[in-house]
Amino acid sequence: MLASRWISFCLASAQLPEEGLGGGSEDVLQALEAEDIPESFRKNVREEGDTRKVQGMCLGVTSHWTKGATVSAATRLRPALTALLCRFARQELAGFEFTSIQVNKDYKAAMHVDKNNLGPSFILGLGDYSGGWLWIDDGSNLGHAKNIRRRWFKFDGTKPHCVTPFCGRRYTLVFFTYSNPQMVTSLSEKEESRLCQLGFPLPAEAARCKNLIRESPTRVCRCLPSSRPHGQFPAALRVQKALHTYKRFELEVARRGGLGRRPQRVQVGLRQLEVMVEPSMPVYMLSTALSQSDEETLGKKRKRPGETAPLFAGSLKLLGTDRLKRLGLRGLLKAA
């Protein structure tokens, strides 16, 4: 048991390889680093009683408490950054339509729902940080957590979601379509033209909504789906339910020794040890961790300092989702 805990600690501190993005991601990160991200006053992303500064802004279409849909002030003040992010998204997400881009910097969003989002959203994490997974209440017993660092992830923002703890400099970009069926969601011709110039691939639904408003200027647009489908509980109740699910998720993560880890049995000599590993963990990291486990936890001294524990490829029980290349076993199997 002690050996398993020590190995989990060793693996938790290891650096894992990243999944790559297009070359434009470096330009985007540099632009974000150079930008002065303003303070956000969104209340639904803060924990109760949390007074820490939240940095974030919405580019493109946002909500005005009397006008409904409007182009945000941040868009007018930052046209170059807006155009860069639109160009980046069109390159990475071919065919995906959106009206808005939420830019977040260094804050852990509390459990919330984005009730004015329509359809799927795409999120991406950038920066030098660890942790900061996106957790979503998908109706299962533990919910679903996704590592979004340098990885695109498609999700439904109207479902309760939050961010796991992280450390380091963390930016997130969320591309989505704004919709508030309780208010007029049409844009003026000038606003629509400006968004198109900046590179926003506006959805076809927005154009249909615009035509309805032109025919009857006093009519409230109902052509977009409701933010709360028939039969769905109010956002506040869904958030409270999701918090209980997230608590179970936290307990399971603590039991496993970290996010994304699965139990694997490894043969070391005549002994079998259970370790918590990631599918992308190279075998040499396991070997080093097992060696440290023997020396520090089991108190056994080796003949040669720094000698690593012998590993046998056949002793790793692979899961259905594992790939030999990602586990670092391909070379060992060829040698065998």
- Spell out the domain ranges in the chain: 35-256, 262-335
pLDDT of residue 47: 78
pLDDT at 268 > cutoff 50:
yes
pLDDT at 99 > cutoff 50:
yes
H-type alpha helices, 93-234: 189-198, 204-215
Percent residues over pLDDT 70 in the chain: 61
| Mean pLDDT for the stretch of residues 294-317 | 50
pLDDT level of residue 228 (50, 70, 90 thresholds) = very low
- Min mean pLDDT across 27-36, 188-197, 258-267, 299-308 is at 299-308
Mean pLDDT of the chain: 76
Superfamily holding 35-256: Jelly Rolls (2.60.120.10)
**Gap between the Cα atoms of 87 and 92, Å rounded:** 9
| Mean pLDDT for the stretch of residues 299-327 | 51
Cβ atoms of 195 and 60 closer than 8 Å: yes
**2 compared with 199, residue with greater pLDDT:** 199
pLDDT at 231 > cutoff 80:
no
- Min mean pLDDT across 30-39, 225-234, 277-286 is at 225-234
| Mean pLDDT for the stretch of residues 239-263 | 86
DSSP state string for 127-164:
SSEEE--EEE--SSSS-EEE--BT--EEE-TTS-EEE-
| Mean pLDDT for the stretch of residues 165-179 | 94
pLDDT of residue 327: 52
How far is C-alpha 118 from the geometric centre of its chain's CA atoms?
18
Closest CA to 44 of 26, 59, 56: 56
302, two tokens: 């080796």
